[in-house]
Structure formats: C-alpha cells, structure tokens
Amino acid sequence: MRAVSGDLFERISYEVDARKEELIELLTKLIAFPTVSPPARNTNDVQEFIKGYLEELGFKTDKWDVYPGDPNVVGILPGEASGQYNSLIVNGHVDVAEVGDDKEWDSSPFAAHIKDSYIYGRGVADMKGGIAASLLAIKLLKELGITIKGDLQFQSVIGEEVGEAGTLACTERGYTADYAVIVDTSDLHIQGQGGVITGWITIQSKETYHDGLRRKMIHAGGGVKGASAIEKMMKIISGLQELERHWAVTKSYEGFAPGSNTINPAVIEGGRHAAFVADRCALWVTVHFYPNEDYEEIINEIEQHINAVAEADPWLRENPPQFTWGGKSMIVDRGEIFPSLEIDPEHPGIRLLAHSYEKLLGQKPTVGMSPTVTDAGWLGRAGIPTVIFGPGKLEDAHAVNEKVEIRQLLDFTKVLAAFIATWCNTRKEE
C-alpha cells in the first residue's frame, strides 16, 4: 500500500482540477437519466450505470428492488484492515424532483448544459452533482494509488424525494459503518437537521344521518345526538394550532428560527354527499420538529393533546379521533418520515472533515443545521454518526433551470477525496 503522504492535499487538488471535464461528462450522463419522482419506478437504468462504475473501481455490489423499477445499489470496497480502521458510508439519492412545465426551462431539463460558471439540469444540485463528484473522488484515489485500510461503502438510493426511504432499506438490510456522509444539497456546509413526519387524524361517526336530520342535531330538544365530522374536525385543528403555539414559546434549538417546529394542516377530506351530514373527516398534517426530538416523542405529544381536546367534547368523547403516522412512501401509502439528526462538532469525523475542508479550500467550513430534511436521519437513527455535506444551494434544488456552480463541484470533490483517504486510513477511535 502507498501511505497517505504529506502532500496528499496538493496532489488531490491538482488532479481534481485536471479532471474538470471528466466530472462534467459524468454528471451529464447522470442527468440524462430522467429519474423524476413522482411518478418514480424509473431508476433501474441509472442504478445499473452506477453499479457498473463502482465495479470497475473494485467495489463488490449489491442491487435489489425497493419497489419494482426502483432498486438500491450498495457498493463496498473492502479495506486492508477493516477491523482496525474506520469505515465510511457515502450516500446519495438518484431520484430527482418533478420538472413541471419544461417549456419554462431554457433548455431540456435532462440535457445538462453549461452557461457561465454553472452547469444546468434537473438534479445537478439535488443531488446528482454530489453523486458524480463522489464517484470521481473515489476513482481519483484509486488512480493515485491511495488505498484504504477501512471499508468504503457507497450507497446509491431511491425515493428520497417522496419519502420512500431507500436509505432506510439499506439499514434494514444490515449496512452500517463508523461514519456516514450524505452528499445532499448543503452548499458545502456540514450539517445536521430537524425532522418531519406526516400523519392522518380521522374522525368517524358511529352513525350516518340524512341532511334533513341536521335541524334535530343543532337545536334544543332535537333529540338526535349526532354531529358533523367536518365541524368536529374544526376543534381538532384548533387544538393543533394551540399546541403549535405552545411549542413555539417553549421549545427552541440553536440554528433554527423561532417557531420552526410547525404543525401544518395540509389536506382535509370529509363527507360523502351533500344529502348527508358528514360522517367522516380526515386531516393530513405535516409536522416539523427539532434535531433533539424523536418522531415517536412528537407523536405522543400530539396524540395526548388531541385526545384531551376530544375528551372535553361530549360527541368526540364517544367518537374519538384515530391516528395514523408516517409511512414509507408518499406515493404508495401517503405518508413519510424523515428522522432528525443531531451532530457533535467534536466528533472525530466532523473534525477530520472540517480539517480536510480548511486545508484544501483555505477557510473554515460552516457547521450548523439544514433548514430542510434528507435521508441523513435514517443513518443517525441506526446509530451511525452522520453529517450532510454536499454541493449545491437549496434555492436551486427543485427550481426551474436548476444549476450548480462548477467550482463548488470541484471543491467538494477535493474535500471528499481527502476525507475518504484520511478517515479510512485512521484507526478506530483514534
């Protein structure tokens, strides 16, 4: 093995700059795969491409369907002394956001093009730019003859745009490591994140009444102990707003604006026909919570509060709300979970990543919190120390004429290559 020498950073920096056109060509190939989600079920071809790329670099690969037509690919490059040296996961998702009306784009969303200092195309920022740069970083290390002693794992996953948790499927399959970098859109900031969970709150009447009986439900002496599920849902929404305001004044987390922990009543469905009093109403909510909170704790808080609201209402007491939380797909079961992720700035992984950044880019990185969510929380929840670190700005992700600065792609490639070479050649717990 060739040891990691003192001029590693200079060598990596020079080689990455020399391979600018190769990086652009690789990203252009990835963008040409129209892996839009929804509708999804369209990532097999790009995953075959990535699988082949990894195998050419000596990775042992595992490809399996998370959903038909949407497979994950995991590649493992075994280290020379896996038991003694740090292992690493590099993770990225291959699905991209919807395009909308492509007539609003200056050129085809799936034909990457360069203008000024940027490359344009759907997914260049979120997050095929991160995938392309990561693959090139690994290839560069191999061609420089810098081998690693700890295992390197590359996870190319599906479904992140619609909460289909391809990364969760990796953890369920048993994949783990000493550290993980999610190369998602972060503007080269090193980040953790808050969490998101969706849920359905449903009110179902035990009886169904014709519209003509409504007068007997709402006037004194009517004698019909019934109610509209839609109107009773108004009490539930009011209760959620009360809890949301309570959270806003009693909870906070550094790096988040006050009141970032929200409960959004996003969709409401109710009633069966204008000739009936509504006997059912369902509310779809989206809940944002802080990095130091777990979604199971959040579920309990909401249910306890809403059950108290229902207990104070005579009709809801007998027809209590029912709750369904999360899901593995916004497409299949209309639900999703993005666990939160706290980070420790003193963790050896963050310190080494920051060191690589500072040595190569000449400044200290920003360490903080992402205002959005990624798959990083699933790795953290599996007990893997994880950070988000990738090229691209959030304002460009999902946007018309999505773009990423080429210089930032190159800078990211340099930092990641140096980090892989040093982390995977550092003894465990050193």
pLDDT tens, 221-242?
888 888 999 999 999 999 999 9
Average pLDDT over residues 378-385: 98
Mean model confidence pLDDT for the chain: 96
Residues 35-66 pLDDT 10s = 999 999 999 999 999 999 999 999 999 999 99
Q: 414 in the Ramachandran plot: left (φ > 0), alpha (ψ -120 to 50) or beta?
A: alpha
Instruction: Output the pLDDT for position 218.
Output: 81
CA dist., res. 23 & res. 16, Å (int): 9
Listed in order, strand segments (DSSP E) in 118-227 are 118-120, 152-157, 180-182, 190-193, 195-204
Instruction: Output the pLDDT for position 343.
Output: 98
Phi, psi (degrees; rounded to nearest 5) at 338 = -125, 100
Q: Predicted confidence band at 429 (pLDDT cuts at 50, 70, 90)?
A: confident
Structure tokens that stand for 301 in this block: 């808080």
- Mode of pairing for the β-strands spanning 152-157 and 88-93: parallel
Phi, psi (degrees; rounded to nearest 5) at 73 = -130, 130
In angstroms, the Cα distances linking 358 to 9, 19, 341, 354, 366 are: 11, 21, 24, 6, 11
Percent of the chain exceeding pLDDT 70 equals 98
Instruction: Output the pLDDT for position 2.
Output: 39
Inter-helix orientation angle 295-311/229-250, to 10°: 130
DSSP-based three-state secondary structure for 135: helix
DSSP-based three-state secondary structure for 233: helix
DSSP-based three-state secondary structure for 39: coil
Instruction: Output the pLDDT for position 430.
Output: 66
In angstroms, the Cα distances linking 274 to 212, 231, 270 are: 11, 14, 11
Q: Kindly state the DSSP code that residue 276 receives in the 8-state scheme.
A: B
Among candidate residues 192, 172, 163, 254, the one with its CA nearest the CA of residue 385: 192
Q: Is residue 356's pLDDT more than 80?
A: yes
Average pLDDT over residues 259-266: 97
CA 182-186-190 angle, to 5 degrees, is 70
Instruction: Output the pLDDT for position 44.
Output: 98
Instruction: Output the pLDDT for position 259.
Output: 95
* CA end-to-end span of the chain: 20
Q: Kindly state the DSSP code that residue 161 receives in the 8-state scheme.
A: G
CA dist., res. 370 & res. 190, Å (int): 9
Instruction: Output the pLDDT for position 1.
Output: 30
Instruction: Output the pLDDT for position 222.
Output: 83
Q: Is residue 332's pLDDT more than 90?
A: yes
Burial 365-402 (b: 16+ CB within 10 A, else e): bebbbbebbbbbbbbbbbebbbbbbbbbbbebbbeeeb
Average pLDDT over residues 335-360: 97
State which amino acid sits at residue 129: G
Cβ pair 259, 279 in contact under 8 A: no
CA dist., res. 273 & res. 211, Å (int): 9
Task: Give yes or no for a cis peptide into 39 (omega within 30° of 0).
Answer: yes
This prediction's pTM: 0.94
Any idea which residues carry the catalytic annotation? Answer: 95, 160
Question: Which burial class, exposed, middle or buried, applies to 348 when counting CB atoms under 10 A from its CB (0-12, 13-18, 19+)?
Answer: middle
Instruction: Output the pLDDT for position 317.
Output: 96
Structure tokens that stand for 49 in this block: 């491409």
The domains of the chain, with CATH numbers, are 8-193+341-423 (3.40.630.10), 195-325 (3.30.70.360)
State which H helix or E strand residue 284 sits in. strand 280-289
Average pLDDT over residues 324-339: 96
Cβ pair 315, 235 in contact under 8 A: no
Structure tokens that stand for 72 in this block: 């994950």
How many residues make up the chain in this entry?
Answer: 430
